[in-house]
Structure 1
Amino acid sequence: MWHLLMVLLDLVKDRKSSTEKDFKRWQQKMLLYLTTLNLARFLQEDAPDLGENPDQQTVVAVDAWKHSDFLCKNYILNGLDNALYNVYSPMVNSKALWESLERKYKTEDAGSKKFVVGKFLDFKMVDSKTVISQVQEFQLILHDIHAEGMVLGESFQVAALIEKLSPTWKDFKNYLKHKRKEMTLEDLIVRLRIEEDNRQSEKKADNYHQEAKANVVEQVHKSGVDDIDVNTIMETRNAHFFEDVFPYKVAQERSSLERTSMD
């Protein structure tokens, strides 16, 4: 009895599923509920025929069948969203109601399959997001594909994920493709995580070296010339000496004069 109550509560929560992509889940829960009540057979049975001259026993059996079918049909209607109740309540019996729901929503399921397959084929990784976050998106698409009843082998999943890496991962893609040992999807995700961490570390190291290189400044002696300042780096192919500006020439001239007077 407790199990039956839990199934009923789940159906109440999932009422809108009959109008959305989760119809299959709602249908399975409803089928379990009706099976527990011994009413599932009315989803496939037609109403019995009384015939021209029915006896009392036949009349009682037909009335019992109609009563059970009435319960079955209304259990299904009660599990639908309120907006659909008036649409499907005119159905003559449980079988007609069940088949009508299947025709409508299983057709939509077929469209849903095409939509999911389209998402899988169009999915490509980009450099503006982290690889691991995009792997999670890819796994959600795989989950939707499996939920639609389409089975993809793990080897196919691994190969597809490798192909969907961005062009900047070209070398790593080639490395993965040439690995002889078969990888599971979980192994591949671990390798991608390690590679991404290594790339981020290398990028930080490169940035640090560039900043350090930019901070290295060659000290130039203060010459007294306005055009040559301290902390200025000058590069030229032809060297020019400023004998007329630097104090070295003055000192040299004084030295020459001293030597002349002494001589």
Structure 2
Amino acid sequence: MLFYLTTLGLVRFLTKDAPPSDEESDKENLMAVDVWKNSNYLCWNYVLNGLCDTLYRVFYVTKSAKELWKTLDWKYKTENAGSEKFVVGRFLDYVMVDTKPLMSQVHELQVLIQELLAEWMFLNEAFQVAAMIEKLPPSWGDLRNYLKNKRKKMDMEALFGELRIENDNRRSDRRSMKARVNANVVEHKSSSKNKKKLGKSSKLGSKGGISKQAKF
């Protein structure tokens, strides 16, 4: 809206008051006042037109574009202050779990960090790295301790590289373990079938009849 009003040459009416006038003012001054009122009316309506119906019914009672803009500015600055606290709370409360893919949780945490930066809350990269390491899930405790004791300074890109490598290694180990389990199951089933066949053949005679066994 601010950009739009700038292109229309009306942005000054958001901050300036009407020029003074009275009954004794000269004709030129009265004309300037009329021009200001007309432009202020246009600016006021452009801003109102940009609001949804609910907000329009709240703010149409304002007297000038300056008053309207000041009220809206106060409203949204107050809401932004609340959203800053909300983002901080989400960041502090975020906990990684073992039941979700790690990299998706890393990306979620990265989005929260970007939201904090967008709210003009400066977080240096060392803090971001330390916070992400501290929030790793319980099953990643060994890697967490390794990264915390690592003396070489690490940036976010290096940390993501370490996490991706470890995540890929764990996925590869799970696939290998699953393949070994499947192979053992297949081998167990085939050996069980062979035993059953041997058991049936031992009960059959040379012509396929029931073999005679000694009775005790």
Deviation at 1:73, TM superposition (A): 0.8
For these two proteins, the number of residue pairs brought into alignment is 193
SS at match of 1:102: helix
Question: What is the CA–CA distance in structure 1 between the aligned matches of 2:120 and 2:7, rounded to whole Å?
Answer: 26
Instruction: After superposition, give the CA deviation of every residue in 1:162-206 in whole Å (9 maximum; x if it has no partner).
Output: 111011111101111122222221221121111011012223333
Instruction: After superposition, give the CA deviation of every residue in 1:84-119 in whole Å (9 maximum; x if it has no partner).
Output: 222212211011000111121211111111111010
Q: Does 2:177 match 1:176?
A: no
Question: What is the CA–CA distance in structure 2 between the aligned matches of 1:143 and 1:183, rounded to whole Å?
Answer: 19
Aligned twin of 2:33: 62
Structure index of larger Rg: 1
Q: Does 2:112 match 1:134?
A: no
The one-letter code matched in structure 2 to 1:161 is M
Aligned twin of 1:44: 15
Instruction: After superposition, give the CA deviation of every residue in 1:24-74 in whole Å (9 maximum; x if it has no partner).
Output: xxxxxx111111222111111112221352111111111111111111111
Gaps of 5+ in 1: 1-29, 225-263
Question: What is the CA–CA distance in structure 1 between the aligned matches of 2:121 and 2:171, rounded to whole Å?
Answer: 37
Alignment of structure 1 residues 184-203 onto 2, 5 Å: 184-203=155-174
Out of 101-110 and 174-183, give the one that drifted further: 174-183
Percentage identity across aligned positions? 52
Aligned twin of 1:106: 77
Aligned twin of 1:96: 67
The one-letter code matched in structure 2 to 1:202 is D
Aligned twin of 2:214: none
Question: What is the CA–CA distance in structure 1 between the aligned matches of 2:6 and 2:99, rounded to whole Å?
Answer: 51
Question: What is the CA–CA distance in structure 1 between the aligned matches of 2:122 and 2:49, rounded to whole Å?
Answer: 34
Alignment of structure 1 residues 1-263 onto 2, 5 Å: 30-210=1-181, 215=187
Gaps of 5+ in 2: 200-216
TM-score (norm 1): 0.67
Question: What is the CA–CA distance in structure 2 between the aligned matches of 1:208 and 1:38, rounded to whole Å?
Answer: 71
Question: What is the CA–CA distance in structure 2 between the aligned matches of 1:156 and 1:90, rounded to whole Å?
Answer: 48
Question: What is the CA–CA distance in structure 1 between the aligned matches of 2:71 and 2:146, rounded to whole Å?
Answer: 53
